[in-house]
Amino acid sequence: MFNRKNFRPWWSATAIVVLMATHAHAIDSTVTVKASPSSQPANKTSQQFVEIEYGNQKVKVPKGGYYDRFRMNPDLNEVAKDPAAGNIDFFRTIPKKLVNSRVGPVWTPNFFYRTSNVQVLMLAPVSRLRKKLPAPLEPLQALPGYGLVSLTFFSYNVADNDPYDEVSVAVVVRKPNAKGLNAAELFGAMRNRHFYGHVLALPVDTEIARVRGVYGYQLPKWLTSIDVNIGTQVNASLNDTHGKTDLSLTAPLPAMKNVKPQSHLETKTMLNQIDGVWHQASVQSNTLSYGQQLFPRNVKLVRHGGPLSRLLDELGANKILRLDVVKDAQLALHMPVPLKALNAPEGKK
């Protein structure tokens, strides 16, 4: 059991790692959930849709939306005319490319022009995390014998693949083939603002987000209802596929800080296997408004027994180290590329 006294010798290292906002994706889900591919959550049914093709999948997307208009290759001058998109100078520094993928040629990276999220970072026993992580991934230890699990509720309000919400359960992992002490790696990751992670579950609430994640990235995505509300306080929840509440989170809004565009940049690297080959994909983030609280006392996370509730229980994730709330951020999600460090003979086990 976690003992606060054991926390003190590692205080400096842990205080650094709990600053991280982990948004990493991967496959090898430990949760198996099926949802009707043609269904749309109730809060989306009032929209008009058009059918598009993604690989060999036919998907409905909002009529006149970004995907319908731009097919993932937007004219940024047109996007700049949308007041909901805000300042897009960050995206002008990241040119898109047409690359081959397992679903055919796709444009990358995927731009998310306005996003928000709420995250709780929790301690979990390394022994539990290792059972959930595919070899050779190793959890990054914040304390001797304890790693980190992040639960994050995302809202993508303006995006290349249209608005949607998403929930991630991720394990913070060591850099591939990392050597040396965990504490040294924590300091290095914080100094470079570059973190690695593996996601165990990633439900979403639109069909285009599910199809792109499952067929393009082989991510553990399924379709369900998700609600994220960041106002004077934070309220977030998601349902299981039967319409019952899985997880719910409420918390006071921490003091928010607004920063200049591109002054708070960060990179997260997602480690996952695609068709049996290890890949990595980077997420570049430009945070504009955020708040953080260390050892929050008023966070209420209720597990109602759904698949994510059970996953957190299996991971032994209980002690909340940090609450992070991002009111405004921009993201660029790149397509996966093979990871030589894990696919080389010396990286195999």
Which pLDDT tens digit goes with each residue over 163-176?
999 999 999 999 99
Query: What are 2's two structure tokens?
Result: 């976690």
Cα–Cα distance list, 264 to 24, 187, 219, 328 (Å): 18, 17, 27, 12
Q: CATH fold of 4-347, please?
A: Acetoacetate decarboxylase-like (2.40.400)
Whole-number pLDDT of residue 192: 77
Cα–Cα distance list, 270 to 12, 43, 83, 229 (Å): 26, 30, 31, 26
Q: 345 Cβ partners below 8 Å, 6+ apart? A: none
- The yes-or-no verdict on residue 304 having pLDDT over 80 is yes
Q: Which residue has the higher pLDDT, 5 or 299?
A: 299
Whole-number pLDDT of residue 29: 31
Q: Which residues on neighbouring strands pair with residue 220, listed in sequence order?
A: none
Lowest mean pLDDT among 35-39, 162-166, 235-239, 258-262: 35-39
Query: What are 19's two structure tokens?
Result: 């600053």
Percent pLDDT > 90 in the chain is 77
**In b/e form, how buried is each residue of 251-277, taking b as 16+ CB within 10 angstroms?**
bebbeeeeeeeeebebebbbbbbbeee
3-state secondary structure of 346: helix
pLDDT band (50, 70, 90) for residue 216 = very high
Whole-number pLDDT of residue 47: 77
Whole-number pLDDT of residue 31: 35
| Cβ atoms 152, 76 nearer than 8 A | no
Q: Which residue has the higher pLDDT, 12 or 53?
A: 53
Whole-number pLDDT of residue 344: 67
Please give the average per-residue pLDDT across 299-317, as a whole number.
98
Whole-number pLDDT of residue 3: 47
Whole-number pLDDT of residue 52: 95
Cα–Cα distance list, 174 to 135, 148, 181, 271 (Å): 12, 11, 10, 10
Please give the average per-residue pLDDT across 216-224, as a whole number.
96
pLDDT tens profile 25-78? 333 333 333 333 333 444 445 679 999 999 899 999 999 999 999 999 999 999
- The yes-or-no verdict on residue 312 having pLDDT over 70 is yes
Whole-number pLDDT of residue 82: 97
Whole-number pLDDT of residue 294: 94
Whole-number pLDDT of residue 345: 61
